[in-house]
A and B are shown apart, each in its own frame.
Chain A
Amino acid sequence: MNRPATTTGMRDIDIARTKLTGALAETWTTPSGFWGALATVDHKIIGRRYIFTAFVFLALGGVLAALMRIQLAQPEARLLGPDRYNQIFTMHGANMMFLFAVPVMEAVAVYLVPLMVGTRNIAFPRLNAFSYWIYLAGGMLLWTAFALDMGPDVGWFAYVPLSGPQYGAGKRADIWAQMITFTELSALAVAVELVVTIFKQRAPGMTLDRIPVFVWAMLVTSFLVIMAMPAIMIASTSLILDRLVGTHFYNPAEGGDVLLWQHLFWFFGHPEVYIIFLPAAGMVSTMIEPFARRPAFGYLGLVMALIATGILSFGLWVHHMFVAGLPRLGDSFFTASSMAIAIPAGIQIFCWIATLWDGRPVFKTPLLFIIGFIVTFVIGGLTGVMVASVPFDTQVHDTYFVVAHFHYVLIGGAVFPLLGTIHYWFPKLTGRMMSETLGRWSFWLIFIGFNATFFPMHILGLEGMPRRIYTYQPDLPWHGLNLFISLSAVILIAGFLLFFVNVIRSARSGEVAPDNPWDAPTLEWATTSPPPSYNFAMIPVVGSLHPLWSERDTLPVADGLRTDRRELIVTTLATAEPQARDASPQNSIWPLWAAIATTIMLIWSIFSPWAVVWGSIPVAVALIGWFWPKGTPEDES
């Protein structure tokens, strides 16, 4: 779009245009070099970094999974001892949930949402930079601790009293709890940015009913983060207090309660599942359109289903505690609410099938992942209905049946769409297409490997194999299936390796991508691949839900923005009418300093409560440096 039309020769309008893009580039582009990279606040650079880092953690978590599968391939294996195994399964869960699944969804949104709503940067771009550094620090804390044999070994759920002062010796449980603080801090920051971006920075004319479904999904997800993550912050903080300064929140001998932990943890933990799944559902609803070659069926239903899921997700947490001995009547209420969440999930599934039914599917890799998603996620949803039933759950809770269930939900329901997403938006991220051949191969390997690995776990669970055991005895009839699972995992791993190969090769030498390779209808495809630092030379004006389909030749835009400062449009919440052209902050190194100061304070506070007092002083200094006006054009008003 921003390239001059060479066939007809350079015209005056094109010259004006190169001047415009030149001026914008000067204002918006991140300076090259190390310092520029540290100080950048460009949502695209930070989003790419976030996605890359999350996939590194995915690979690391996959290595842990492979180690567990080697250990469990035969009874009484001695590859891993109980101490190491317990660290590994804890690391695997904590890493996948806190360092991969939630961050990667937010990362994709950090990259895409500003483009999809037609703005030039995310709201609070410095907070965005800060959130990435904090996330990175949290991940490094966890993995460094693991490398030093100090990795948490209490499960990703860290139930007390096992994680409490009496039974959780050393600093392992504290590492877990503080890693939570890091990742939740960064997740909350991104949630705030996304909510405000979606509320206030949508392109003129993008009324509520013209917001792409993925953006809706991220809005609901961000509210889930905002409402759910404080619970785990309170839980992990009180756990640290119990361990460090001798409070008694979880000590039954002094008026505390063990189940209080489970209530707090799952009040966060269940919405957490939807924090991972809703973005994936949004990705599917958005990606399905170009591949079905028609608008997604039932826009209103899809959006309402997202919102309903978000609300219901706060009423399910007790189904993780069905065998903890709570009153049976209360349990039955939670059975009903857990079953009810199948309804919005069903609505979405039926809408997607209707879209494909009425459309003319184009079988490219992203669509394959969507189909794989529907096949596996329906299984995960149905086993979810099963475990929602209290009596059923008493037999399968804490067994491999549940392991199978949530891997179907999380891999089938979230990772499949995510992989489709990478294939789909890769041209926008890098300017190059991913290989279709390698994409198909990796899809089939992952799809077959996944099902062969995880489906038998349902049976193992029913056959009595509990979770989180580092080995099992030869007289139990589980070794055949376990060996089969471990061998199948090889196929799954091969599929992922092929995916990574495809990504690396395509990023280097893939086919150069046009602006809109899939003929997709949403705004991010209106700009170049990859987009310029300012995203859009002129802010688009939106007249429909599918702006690039309703008007195929031209893009309605608005002019009148300054080019000598970072300026973007603030619009009204419901109708997206322009209210102001406000400044977006310039690059700054202060978010990095603030993140370093925060990291020092948080890690120090594992060892001494005084860290909170003395450590907060550098944090305050960094924050003042961050917000102190520098007299740039951005400060004008």
Chain B
Amino acid sequence: MRERIVLDLGKLPLHGLGTASVTWWGTLAFMLIEGTGFALAIAVYLYLMSMATAWPINTQAPDLLPGTLVTLILLASLVPNVLLSRWAEQQDLGKVRIGIVIMSLLGTVPLIVRIFEFPALKVSWDSNAYGSVVWTLLGLHTIHIITDLVDTLVLAALMFTRHGHSPRRFGDVQDNAMYWNFVVATWLPIYGCIYWLARL
């Protein structure tokens, strides 16, 4: 079969940003996978809650302080995160460097507070099913914070190398910012479950 040239693609950009980037879609797909995982974990919580005669089982509701503090820090981190994403879109390397350092710090602080969240649950994972599910929910979310923090740290290092000033890297920063929004967004229903449903 002979080929007949009907289209010239030479003028297209060498890299797509946003919805023109496959990485963006990949990040979205992984968010869908993990979002389904979180939704199912919450469903397990609700299921076990519906089975139990008393909830929480043999303990009191968790202390509000550390969890609420984490929530506030995560919510506050959204502001620099959105700004960082905007700077990346504008391909402003100087601001992106500042922003990503700030986000590295804001990823670390909730992890430190999280250390106090586990004892605040007032139950061990091996005490009963209630303990198991709250530890799992908290652990699952903590893994997500750690994953995104590592990603942020690596990107922060990259932004200070010769590879930093590239639309590709700015795209990565944007995708990473989007993922952080997801990490914050998934925390809210988990926070509601662990701290407030147990008080109903």
Residues of A at the B interface (CB closer than 8 Å) are 1, 123-124, 188, 191-192, 195-196, 199-201, 204, 226-227, 229-231, 233-234, 238, 241-242, 245-249, 251, 254-257, 260, 263-264, 267, 515, 526, 537-539, 541, 548, 553-561, 569-570, 573, 578-583, 620, 624, 627-629, 631, 635-637
A629 x B25 contact (CB < 8 A): no
Interface of A is mostly: mixed
- Rounded to whole angstroms, the CA-CA distance of A553 and B57 in the bound complex is 74
B21 x A570 contact (CB < 8 A): yes
Residues of B at the A interface (CB closer than 8 Å) are 1-16, 19-22, 25-26, 29-30, 32-34, 36-37, 40-41, 44, 47-48, 51-52, 57, 125-133, 135-136, 150, 154, 158, 162-163, 166-169
B54 to chain A minimum Cβ distance, whole angstroms, is 9
- Rounded to whole angstroms, the CA-CA distance of A196 and B25 in the bound complex is 6
B36 x A255 contact (CB < 8 A): no
**Given A226-B36, A560-B8, A560-B11 in contact, is the A629-B129 Cβ separation under 8 Å?**
no
A579 x B16 contact (CB < 8 A): yes
- Rounded to whole angstroms, the CA-CA distance of A294 and B167 in the bound complex is 47
- Rounded to whole angstroms, the CA-CA distance of A561 and B36 in the bound complex is 38
A196, A515, A559: which contacts B22 (Cβ < 8 A)?
Answer: A196
B47, B48, B168: which contacts A637 (Cβ < 8 A)?
Answer: B168
- Rounded to whole angstroms, the CA-CA distance of A248 and B125 in the bound complex is 8
A242 to chain B minimum Cβ distance, whole angstroms, is 8
**Given A230-B36, A629-B163, A635-B168 in contact, is the A624-B128 Cβ separation under 8 Å?**
no
* Residue numbers in A under 8 Å from B41 (CB-CB): 234
Could you write out 11 A-B pairs with CB less than 8 Å apart?
A234-B37, A246-B126, A247-B132, A257-B48, A526-B1, A556-B3, A560-B7, A579-B16, A580-B12, A581-B13, A636-B14
* Residue numbers in B under 8 Å from A234 (CB-CB): 37, 40-41, 44
Total A-B residue contacts, Cβ distance less than 8 Å: 202
A199, A537, A557, A580: which contacts B14 (Cβ < 8 A)?
Answer: A580
- Rounded to whole angstroms, the CA-CA distance of A624 and B154 in the bound complex is 8
B136 x A247 contact (CB < 8 A): yes
B25 x A627 contact (CB < 8 A): no
**Given A226-B32, A254-B128, A560-B8 in contact, is the A233-B37 Cβ separation under 8 Å?**
yes
**Given A538-B5, A620-B150 in contact, is the A249-B44 Cβ separation under 8 Å?**
yes
- B30's nearest neighbour on chain A, judged by CB, is A192
- A253's nearest neighbour on chain B, judged by CB, is B128
**Given A557-B5, A559-B8 in contact, is the A637-B167 Cβ separation under 8 Å?**
yes
- B146's nearest neighbour on chain A, judged by CB, is A616
B136 x A557 contact (CB < 8 A): no
- B171's nearest neighbour on chain A, judged by CB, is A637
* Residue numbers in A under 8 Å from B128 (CB-CB): 248, 254-256
B9, B26, B36, B162: which contacts A578 (Cβ < 8 A)?
Answer: B9
B2, B37, B48, B131: which contacts A230 (Cβ < 8 A)?
Answer: B37
B154 x A199 contact (CB < 8 A): no
**Given A188-B33, A255-B129 in contact, is the A541-B6 Cβ separation under 8 Å?**
yes
A201 x B9 contact (CB < 8 A): no
B129 x A251 contact (CB < 8 A): yes
* Residue numbers in B under 8 Å from A556 (CB-CB): 3-7
The 7 closest A-B pairs by CB, nearest first: A560-B10, A637-B15, A580-B16, A247-B132, A255-B129, A558-B7, A246-B126
B150 x A559 contact (CB < 8 A): no
* Residue numbers in B under 8 Å from A255 (CB-CB): 48, 51-52, 57, 128-130
* Residue numbers in A under 8 Å from B1 (CB-CB): 1, 515, 526, 548, 553-555
Interface centre among B44, B135, B136 (most CB of A within 10 A): B44
A191, A200, A558: which contacts B6 (Cβ < 8 A)?
Answer: A558
A260 x B47 contact (CB < 8 A): yes
**Given A227-B36, A255-B129 in contact, is the A200-B166 Cβ separation under 8 Å?**
no
* Residue numbers in A under 8 Å from B40 (CB-CB): 230-231, 234, 264, 267
A629 x B4 contact (CB < 8 A): no
A462 to chain B minimum Cβ distance, whole angstroms, is 35
B27 to chain A minimum Cβ distance, whole angstroms, is 10
- A539's nearest neighbour on chain B, judged by CB, is B9
- Rounded to whole angstroms, the CA-CA distance of A637 and B170 in the bound complex is 11
- Rounded to whole angstroms, the CA-CA distance of A620 and B150 in the bound complex is 8
* Residue numbers in A under 8 Å from B47 (CB-CB): 257, 260, 263
- Rounded to whole angstroms, the CA-CA distance of A200 and B18 in the bound complex is 12
- Rounded to whole angstroms, the CA-CA distance of A263 and B133 in the bound complex is 16
A189 to chain B minimum Cβ distance, whole angstroms, is 9
**Given A247-B126, A249-B129, A254-B128 in contact, is the A238-B136 Cβ separation under 8 Å?**
yes
B145 to chain A minimum Cβ distance, whole angstroms, is 14
- A251's nearest neighbour on chain B, judged by CB, is B129
- B6's nearest neighbour on chain A, judged by CB, is A556
A582 x B166 contact (CB < 8 A): no
A245 x B126 contact (CB < 8 A): yes
* Residue numbers in A under 8 Å from B167 (CB-CB): 637
- Rounded to whole angstroms, the CA-CA distance of A582 and B14 in the bound complex is 5
B52 to chain A minimum Cβ distance, whole angstroms, is 5
- Rounded to whole angstroms, the CA-CA distance of A631 and B127 in the bound complex is 53
A199 x B25 contact (CB < 8 A): yes
- Rounded to whole angstroms, the CA-CA distance of A557 and B15 in the bound complex is 21
A579 x B25 contact (CB < 8 A): no
B33 x A582 contact (CB < 8 A): no
- Rounded to whole angstroms, the CA-CA distance of A245 and B2 in the bound complex is 65
A123 x B26 contact (CB < 8 A): yes
A229, A256, A515, A538: which contacts B132 (Cβ < 8 A)?
Answer: A256
* Residue numbers in A under 8 Å from B37 (CB-CB): 230, 233-234
- Rounded to whole angstroms, the CA-CA distance of A464 and B67 in the bound complex is 56
* Apart from the given pairs A238-B136, A554-B2, 13 other A-B contacts in the complex at a CB distance below 8 Å: A196-B26, A204-B7, A226-B36, A230-B36, A230-B40, A247-B129, A254-B129, A255-B129, A556-B6, A560-B9, A581-B9, A627-B154, A637-B166
* Residue numbers in B under 8 Å from A226 (CB-CB): 29, 32-33, 36
B4 x A582 contact (CB < 8 A): no
* Residue numbers in A under 8 Å from B10 (CB-CB): 559-561
B2 x A582 contact (CB < 8 A): no
- Rounded to whole angstroms, the CA-CA distance of A637 and B29 in the bound complex is 24
A572 to chain B minimum Cβ distance, whole angstroms, is 8
* Residue numbers in B under 8 Å from A581 (CB-CB): 9, 12-14
B195 to chain A minimum Cβ distance, whole angstroms, is 19
A537, A557, A637: which contacts B4 (Cβ < 8 A)?
Answer: A557
* Residue numbers in A under 8 Å from B32 (CB-CB): 226-227
- Rounded to whole angstroms, the CA-CA distance of A635 and B169 in the bound complex is 9
- Rounded to whole angstroms, the CA-CA distance of A579 and B9 in the bound complex is 9
- A255's nearest neighbour on chain B, judged by CB, is B129
B21 to chain A minimum Cβ distance, whole angstroms, is 7
* Residue numbers in B under 8 Å from A257 (CB-CB): 47-48, 51, 129
